[in-house]
Amino acid sequence: MLTAADQTTQDVAALSGGQDQLTIILLAFAVVAIIVTALVISNTFSVLVAQRTRELALLRCIGAGRGQIRNSVLVEAAIMGLVSSVFGVLLAAGVMWVLVEVARNNPGSEFATLAVPPSAVIAGIAVGLLMTLAAAFVPARAATAVAPLEELRPADYVNVSNRRGKFRLIGGGVLVIMGGALLAAGAARADLLMALPGGAMSFLGVLLCASLFIPALVSGLGRLAEPLGVPGRLAAVNAVRNPARTTATATALVVGVTLVTMMMAGAQTSRTAFEDTLAQNYPVDLSIQLEADRTATALETLASIEGVEAAAALTAVATTSVESGERTVYTISGSDAEAVLRSAETRPVDDIVLMPEDSGLPEITIDGASGSKTLPVREVESRTLVPLISEATAERLGVVTDPASQGSEVWLKLDDSLDYGAVTALRTEIVETLGLSDYQVSGAALERATFNQIIDVLLLVVTALLAVAVFIALIGVANTLSLSVLERTRESSLLRALGLTRAQLRIMLAVEAVLVAGVSALLGTALGILYGWLGAQAALGSVAAVTPSIPWLQLAGVLLVAVVAGLIASVMPARRAARLSPVEGLAMG
């Protein structure tokens, strides 16, 4: 005897083949969010340590040891990590409860229940706590210096002129080359299991080498800010004054933007490849079988149905010979063919008979009113296409006097914006309006709408998950700017004393944030387009011809959001810097 929970588990396992691929995918995105969060936590504690430099220095003066200072920062991190992790677990459970309640109100999903296993709660809290401690370790070590704020800056910046930079360049270069080769081979062979590790290796290599080129990119892009005058030129210099911190902040944002862009480009490329394959295998969106004497009336009715872009009737003009199977041969005008056919390959050509694939006939004999004629056959990648010739060829053969006995066929092209529900409703309306049976209306529209619906839902879920990572990374931009403002308090005050206005100071800090966010978004977009295309090729290359299809409007939206978010991230640090009077700032330190 099985309990309801056991039976539900068995049913889910049967439907999923015993595997839980969705959970694996969601956990993968959780790992991405954790990595980005760790980078932001590290920057956050750097800001906290910098703000309390005087306090920590005083504690050292009255006898506190380095270990005590370091442990105090780590204990603070542990408390914050524990509280935040518990809150995160409760929030996740609350969100899932809402989703389950919504699902239970939908037909067919009444069995949905909320299950929060203790292992998930413990794992979530443990991961959050350990991640926070690990991310806060470097700032905790910096806190033991308790020197003036300048000493919190890393003295040994990673570049090609020092040992660490050379090690990163060699290691990252090897990963990029090896991973890129594996990714390219996986895409060429349509082997996703080969492409996935190759993509991960190459991306890791790019991140390792990030400190060698991101500061240069930020500095180069900073030239675009020169028309803003002194604030623009200062922002370009200040944005890379601490290259290590700039690189860490940009890297977190690059990870999120790359993955968001990759999903968008991959989904669009997959959608295009699938639609091209459907267009070749199913020449029209919907095909309707009718009696010949109903064609004219049916065309008028179909033209009035909302969602039908074009309708065209095929005309039966001849039959093939007995040796060729006695099939009805149809024709369609060039303008009608262009209006309803999705693939140019299926449009009729003079003196050639279009036949479905695997017909096995190099040529075919057609019996027309003017006699019989043998024509070459061109097979198309479709199993549903009827024998088709051009109007000019039909005129030369002579139309059979009574093709009506073979019936008629009407082809429809539907509005591309119709989703699965709209296509289903339209098909039902056609069946009921024309008084047909369901089997008389067929075509690729339902398959295309179903695939697009799946792509849209997956893209929505994945983009929402990755948006969390991007949001966290943008918090890192604000934290980095806050620390930069603290480090440059005296400098900013001196600039104010020399005539820099509060508005110019705000512009300078805003441009700094935009430069970091803009370079990260541009780099992430370029990488995402490449990985999305190669990923789609690896996943679908064996079943469809994959060509890059880039959703420029969506990608422009991602870039715009990153830039605007960078501006928003600069508001609080800029306000704090502008409110400080030059006299107070010069007196500090």
Q: List the pLDDT tens digit at each of the 589 positions of the chain.
A: 566 556 556 655 554 444 454 555 556 556 666 766 676 676 667 656 655 666 776 777 777 777 787 888 888 888 888 888 888 888 888 877 887 777 677 655 566 677 788 888 888 888 888 888 887 777 777 666 555 444 444 444 555 566 766 777 888 889 999 999 998 998 888 887 788 888 888 988 888 888 888 888 888 888 888 888 888 888 888 777 777 777 777 877 787 788 788 888 887 888 787 777 776 677 777 888 877 677 778 888 888 888 888 888 887 777 777 776 777 888 888 888 888 887 777 788 888 888 877 777 788 888 777 777 788 888 877 766 788 888 888 878 776 645 445 567 888 888 877 777 788 888 888 888 888 887 788 777 777 777 777 777 766 766 676 676 667 666 766 766 676 676 667 777 777 777 888 888 888 888 888 888 888 889 999 999 999 888 888 877 776 777 888 888 888 888 888 888 778 877 777 777 777 777 666 666 5
Is 528 in contact with 257 (CB distance < 8 Å)?
yes
Query: How far, in Å, CA of 523 to CA of 258, rounded?
Result: 8
Q: Are residues 449 and 532 in the same domain?
A: yes
Question: For residue 253, how many other CB atoms are within 10 A of its CB?
Answer: 30
Q: Are residues 308 and 408 in the same domain?
A: yes
Q: Are residues 436 and 297 in the same domain?
A: yes
Q: Are residues 437 and 327 in the same domain?
A: yes
Last residue of a domain, one of 443, 462, 484: 443
Nearest by Cα to 206 from 155, 153, 169, 234: 169
Full residue range of the structural domain in which residue 305 is found = 283-443
Last residue of a domain, one of 393, 415, 443: 443
Q: Are residues 559 and 492 in the same domain?
A: yes
Tell me if 39 is assigned to some domain. Answer: yes
Q: Are residues 207 and 76 in the same domain?
A: no
Instruction: Quote the distance between the C-alpha of residue 375 and its chain's center.
Output: 48
Tell me if 53 is assigned to some domain. Answer: yes
Q: Are residues 461 and 383 in the same domain?
A: no
Tell me if 176 is assigned to some domain. Answer: no
Query: How far, in Å, CA of 70 to CA of 16, rounded?
Result: 49
Residues counted in the chain: 589
Q: Are residues 290 and 437 in the same domain?
A: yes
Rounded-to-5 percentages of helix, strand, coil across the chain: 70, 10, 20
Residue 586: its pLDDT value, please?
Answer: 64
Counting DSSP H helices and E strands in the chain, the numbers are 20, 9
Q: Are residues 208 and 105 in the same domain?
A: no
Tell me if 588 is assigned to some domain. Answer: yes
Residue 155: its pLDDT value, please?
Answer: 44
Backbone angles phi, psi at 291, to 5 degrees: -75, 145
Query: How far, in Å, CA of 478 to CA of 237, rounded?
Result: 18
Q: Are residues 456 and 406 in the same domain?
A: no
Q: What is the CA radius of gyration of the chain?
A: 33
Q: Pairing state of beta strands 363-368 and 371-380?
A: antiparallel
Tell me if 161 is assigned to some domain. Answer: no
Query: How far, in Å, CA of 65 to CA of 431, rounded?
Result: 84
Nearest by Cα to 475 from 43, 154, 20: 43
Instruction: Quote the distance between the C-alpha of residue 460 and its chain's center.
Output: 9
Give me the residues paired with residue 586 across strands.
none
Alpha-carbon distance values, 186 to 194, 197, 258, 462, 541 (Å): 5, 10, 20, 23, 10
Is 221 in contact with 515 (CB distance < 8 Å)?
yes
Tell me if 344 is assigned to some domain. Answer: yes
Q: Are residues 554 and 462 in the same domain?
A: yes
Last residue of a domain, one of 443, 467, 492: 443
Is 413 in contact with 287 (CB distance < 8 Å)?
no
Q: Are residues 37 and 144 in the same domain?
A: yes
Return the residue matching tokens 């008389």: 440
Count of structural domains, the chain:
3
Q: Dihedral sign, CA of 168, 171, 174, 175?
A: negative
Tell me if 522 is assigned to some domain. Answer: yes
Query: How far, in Å, CA of 441 to CA of 423, rounded?
Result: 12
Residue 181: its pLDDT value, please?
Answer: 92
Tell me if 13 is assigned to some domain. Answer: no
